[in-house]
Amino acid sequence: MTAPAAMRRVPRRLLLTLKLGEVPEHLPGIRAVHGYGTAPAEYVDHGVIDRLLRHHGGAFRAARLHSARKRRAESRATGARRFDDVEQISGVARVLRIEVREPERMPALLRALAELPIVERVGADYLSYTPLDRDGQAGGRGSAAQSWAREAIRLPQALQLEPGDPAVVIGLADTGAALGHVELSGRIRTGFDSVDLDPEAVGGLTLVGDFRHRGERPQDEVGHGSGCAGILVARGRDIPAGGAGACGLTPVRVLGAALGPGDKRIGVGALDNIDAGMKRLIDLGVKVINMSFGTPESALLADAPRPHEEIVRYALARGVILVAASGNSGLREKFYPAAHAEVVAVGAVDERLLPTSFTTSGEHVALCAPGRDIRTCALDGYQNATGTSFAAPFVSAACALLASRAARRAWPLDGALARQLLIDSARPFAGAGASGYGRGVLDVAAALRALDDYIDAQVRAEGDDADIDSDEVPPVPAAA
């Protein structure tokens, strides 16, 4: 979905990443500000940053976007000393969210801040939207949509090989989940809500439901996240059971609800809301994160940093597998986070196993999965959902099964290996000439077998190395 220009940026917010060692310790975290009444800082450095912010933006408030993974007992500081090396090096410890009173001179402010030696990157706080999907349709029981997708990706065979491990948890960063839905009851873990939106900051959209108060209840008010959750972990009462088998799911509401054309509800969230939610998911120990949202590159200023850079680096450093919908523009273009390297970008195919007309293409797309007429959960009841938003959860489910299999064999699995296994094992498209849609169509059973083959080959190689080393060891002299 490409948003009108007026909807693309949060007018008063900017995201500022300082270089390593440059973040003052007095700055509180956003969670402390919103959850515990801590006052945001009214200065950053008592120096050039403050002067630029006040000159171009008037009064301002600043806070760290992220909280530390662990509090260090030996430190009372509210700043840098609480963050570990991974948080510091990836950049998540160094991101500041700043709100200015006067947004009219924001472009000049961003340019001035970018020139400072202590600034690593700075950009506006953009909005991200969903549906990236096409219109879903509500409906009753029964249709071809019930089973074609599972058969197309050989999911039944995959679940016979690997039923999933409850200790492997998928994070769902979306509009939340229908917590009371019969298909999801008992299948989702306690999640949370990171949405923090201002009605004046969403380009004329009408926000509905809870959009101001972060909390611990990720109740879906759109239906989009519930659709993804059903594909992942549905109980299988009136729709197919979730593709992730026995794996767990933690939903986080990073997108609030707004009324779009025809009063259809859509999801909208600021980049800082999304990144803060994902950081917390990673720190909770999820192994896979499904991201069915995106910001088109065409919506960004030419010199703007790419969205989600720090959080993607952080996730990869923690061994988390990232899966994202490629988008539904039908064009050859980039949506973020899908376009980041090592993120598994997923396009959509139809029942013929051909790329759909709406799926976004590009060299960054890894593979495709079923994304048309997918039978899944709605807010109340069921829907037949269409779009890359609903193709991505099939791949996230496959990644969770791969992680379960790797754990069962006591072998480490990271995002790079998972992505390569999925690409190498993909089925060819049904027709020739598909370019920019990745290697082919997801084949979950083949991916699991490819993982087994990879582990076996590595073990054999280690054995061969051991034999070589033992041949090179000189004999022990005989005792006198």
| Predicted confidence (pLDDT) per residue in 320-373, tens digit | 999 999 999 999 999 999 999 999 999 999 999 999 999 999 999 999 999 999
Judge whether residue 135 has pLDDT over 50: no
CA distance 441 to 394: 11
Task: State the Cα torsion 15-17-22-25 to the nearest 10°.
Answer: 50
pLDDT, tens digit, 9 for 90 and up, residues 31-58: 888 777 889 999 999 999 999 999 999 9
**Span 158-162, average pLDDT:** 98
Quick one: pLDDT at residue 320? 98
pLDDT, tens digit, 9 for 90 and up, residues 195-231: 988 887 777 788 888 777 667 889 999 999 999 999 9
For residues 387 and 328, is the Cβ–Cβ distance under 8 A? Answer: yes
Percent residues over pLDDT 70 in the chain: 89
Quick one: pLDDT at residue 54? 96
Quick one: pLDDT at residue 457? 95
Quick one: pLDDT at residue 234? 97
Quick one: pLDDT at residue 468? 57
Distances (CA, A) of 173 to 195, 199, 218: 11, 22, 10
Distances (CA, A) of 225 to 84, 170, 231, 477: 32, 13, 10, 69
pLDDT, tens digit, 9 for 90 and up, residues 68-124: 988 655 545 444 458 999 999 999 999 999 999 999 999 999 999 999 999 999 999
267 forms bridges with which residues in the sheet?
Answer: 130, 257
Fold match between 5-126 and 130-455?
Answer: no
Quick one: pLDDT at residue 213? 67
- Find the helix packing angle between 106-114 and 48-57, rounded to 10°: 160
- Which of 374, 113, 368 shows the shortest CA–CA distance to 243? 374
**Span 464-478, average pLDDT:** 56
Distances (CA, A) of 330 to 113, 132, 359, 360: 36, 11, 5, 5
Q: What is the CA radius of gyration of the chain?
A: 23
Domain locations along the chain: 5-126, 130-455
At the topology level, CATH places domain 130-455 in Rossmann fold (3.40.50)
**Span 427-431, average pLDDT:** 92
- Which of 393, 305, 299, 311 shows the shortest CA–CA distance to 344? 393
Grade residue 479 by pLDDT with cuts at 50, 70 and 90: very low
Segment among 24-38, 158-172, 226-240, 243-257 with least mean pLDDT:
24-38
Segment among 20-34, 278-292, 345-359, 408-422 with least mean pLDDT:
20-34
Question: Tokens 């970008």 map to which residue?
Answer: 345
Quick one: pLDDT at residue 472? 57
Which amino acid is present at 464? D
The CATH number that domain 5-126 falls under is 3.30.70
**Among the ranges 26-40, 142-156, 157-171, which has the highest mean pLDDT value?**
157-171
For residues 405 and 456, is the Cβ–Cβ distance under 8 A? Answer: no
Grade residue 167 by pLDDT with cuts at 50, 70 and 90: very high
Quick one: pLDDT at residue 73? 56
Judge whether residue 477 has pLDDT over 60: no
**Span 227-240, average pLDDT:** 96
CA distance 279 to 84: 14
pLDDT mean across residues, the chain: 89
DSSP 81: G
